[in-house]
Amino acid sequence: MATRIIPYWIVPVTLVHLPEIVALEQRIAAYPWQYALFQDELRAEWRQRSLHRVLLAPPDDRVVGFVFCRALVDNEWSLLNIGIVSELRGCGWGERLLRLVMRHSAKCEDATWLLEVAVTNRAARRLYEKCGLSVIGVRRGYYVSAAGHEDALVMQCLVRGNNP
Ligand SMILES: CC(C)(COP(=O)(O)OP(=O)(O)OC[C@H]1O[C@@H](n2cnc3c(N)ncnc32)[C@H](O)[C@@H]1OP(=O)(O)O)[C@@H](O)C(=O)NCCC(=O)NCCS
């Protein structure tokens, strides 16, 4: 199902979007995912347990943002990756994407959300706080890059479902 936020679209990710998503990821991420990792997330057996969305901009539906999320067990969701092109940052698109998938995850029952974020990623931390997540722990040296190791904060929240 597609969501129209004039004049942008948020639609489920398909293989067609992957080359542009990977190119965007390479430009914006401190620890970029490679193509194979994104492709793996689109595996058919995970389709029912995934909420992967892409933000498309007019006039030619170019990819300007994405979010990848998956339920690891039961209704416990993990935010795996999110990105917005630099020119659109701070306009609330990250928040719209994240709130959309969080709402969707709790359509029927309560959902738990869990994620890791690099301690130095202040924009992402702020985004997650805005969406209701709070810090519950630290994973030492969680991120590994050529430059060394970096700690991750673990953030969590409960999204109430529409159950009576
Ligand atoms: C994290 C990211 C997705 C946020 O997207 P966005 O569309 O800019 O998000 P929003 O506009 O909804 O909100 C961003 C919030 O962070 C704040 N922010 C932006 N830069 C910041 C900084 N350097 N320090 C602190 N807060 C910052 C914004 O002011 C805004 O908060 P506010 O509404 O209270 O003012 C985007 O910055 C991004 O793509 N970063 C690179 C990829 C990345 O780091 N992904 C997360 C991996 S875990």
Task: Report pLDDT digits (tens) over 89-99.
Answer: 999 999 999 99
Give the residue, by CA position, lying nearest to ligand 1 atom 1: 124
Mutation choice for ligand 1 from 33, 55, 89, 131, CB with most ligand atoms inside 8 A: 89
Å from CA of 139 to ligand 1 middle:
21
pLDDT given at position 147 = 75
Region label for 60, one of left (φ > 0), alpha (ψ between -120 and 50) or beta (otherwise): alpha
Q: In sequence order, which residues have a C-beta less than 8 Å from that of residue 107 and are 6 or more positions away?
A: 161, 162
Give the residue, by CA position, lying nearest to ligand 1 atom 12: 92
Q: What is the CATH number of domain 3-159?
A: 3.40.630.30
Q: Sketch the domain layout of the chain as residue ranges.
A: 3-159
Cβ(52)–Cβ(12) below 8 Å: yes
pLDDT given at position 164 = 57
pLDDT given at position 163 = 63
pLDDT tens-place string over residues 106-127:
998 999 999 999 999 999 999 9
